[in-house]
Amino acid sequence: MKRLPPLSTLPVMEAAARLASFTAAAQELHVTHGAVSHQIKSLEEHLGVSLFARHGRRVALTPDGALFAEQIRAALKTVADAVESISPEARQNSLTISVLPSFASRWLMPHIGKFVELYPEYDINVQSTIGLANFTTDGVDVAIRFGTGPWPGVHTERIAGDSYFPVCSPRFRRGKLPESPEELCGLALLRTDQNHWDAWFNAAGVERVPRMRGVAYNDASLLIQAAMAGEGIALTRKSLVEADVANGKLVKLFDVEIVAPENYFFVCLPQHVQSKKVKIFRDWLFREITWEATGPAKTSVMAPVKPRPKR
């Protein structure tokens, strides 16, 4: 690190620059005018440049002084924010939630406003990532994950299950939508996991699983966007597209659904399970998630995945 100036001079410099007066800066900092003048002179000697032009008792920033004052103000704000972020009061009123991008955009964002209305005292920070949350280094309080769970070293609580079914844009193929599962063979099939399509075709009674021709995505939100754009038929989760099917942005094809082998989990550190903010968010989350109440269609079945023939 480059040699720093005397750190005690920096708040003095910021105040004098902002107020354009050594006297006003002295009053704000509860020191004498002479003390401010001495600190500024010491800083100028250290830097080797003049920060202020003196005109009797009036002072004005030099070009170097104006540039330096702007950067010092930003640096001091960063330090103040860092102090605030680790203060007990700030940590108590801040809630950081780690979620998958698909869940963040398709479910959490449309619902989190309700939580803010109920609990305005909390500052909500949402971290959207496909990686596992690091509760120690990332400052995460709670995480919502979709997978098989549980995960070692953390408190893992199942929230709900889900199901998969195919959807597409009502404008796909100019509105000429497939009328049977067999008609999907040869069409562009979008996916995040090949096995889910295999299982769905098995449940739908299609003996020969078609070779995938569509694009594979690493996140379900991208998959759904592609389906809305008419790029193909997506096999996706009910929890992510229920609203879009209801408002006509997507069309659900056929009544066959497969039960997802994964589940949604509420995750946090074991020692935080009983903290007030974690309990409040956990209870709200469980009340708000409603898609599992209706469950998948009666024809749903999680069929075993047949091995695909080698080509």
Please say whether the beta carbons of 159 and 285 come within 8 A: yes
Identity at 256, one-letter amino acid code: V
Helix/strand/coil for 181:
helix
CA 166 centroid distance within chain: 26
DSSP class of 219 = S
Q: What is the pLDDT of residues 277-307, one digit of tens each?
A: 999 999 999 988 865 444 443 333 333 333 3
Report domain 88-311's class. alpha beta
Q: Identify the three-state secondary structure at position 292.
A: helix
Q: 148 by DSSP, 3-state: which? A: coil
Find the angle CA(96)-CA(107)-CA(276) to the nearest 5 degrees: 35
pLDDT value, residue 82? 74
Residues facing residue 54 across a β-bridge: 59
**Distances 147 to 25, 130, 138, 293 between C-alpha atoms, Å:** 57, 11, 21, 20
Q: How far apart are CA 65 and CA 12, in angstroms?
A: 13
Which of 209, 202, 229, 205 lies closest to 217, judged by CA? Answer: 229
Each domain of the chain, given as residue ranges in start order, spans 9-86, 88-311
Could you give the 3-state DSSP secondary structure of residue 15? helix
| CA distances from residue 163 to 59, 122, 291 in whole angstroms, order as listed | 70, 33, 10
Q: Which pLDDT score, from 0 to 100, does residue 98 have?
A: 93
What pLDDT digit, counting tens, does each position of 219-251 carry? 888 999 999 999 999 999 998 998 899 999 999
Class of domain 9-86: mainly alpha
Report the alpha-carbon distance of residue 81 to residue 70 in Å, rounded.
17
Q: What's the pTM value of the predicted model, to 2 decimals? A: 0.62
HEC string of 74-134 equals HHHHHHHHHHHHHCHHHHHHEEEEEECHHHHHHHHHHHHHHHHHHCCCCEEEEEECCCCCC
pLDDT averages per 10-residue partition of the chain, 311 residues:
82 92 90 92 92 86 93 88 62 85 88 92 88 78 89 90 94 91 89 85 85 82 92 92 92 93 91 91 88 42 34 33
- The percent of the chain in helix, strand and coil, each rounded to the nearest 5, is 45, 20, 35
* Paired tokens of 236: 């996706």
Residue 243: in which H helix or E strand, if any? helix 238-246
304 touches 209 (CB < 8 A): no
Q: Give the 3-state secondary structure of residue 145.
A: strand
Sign of CA dihedral 84, 87, 89, 92: positive
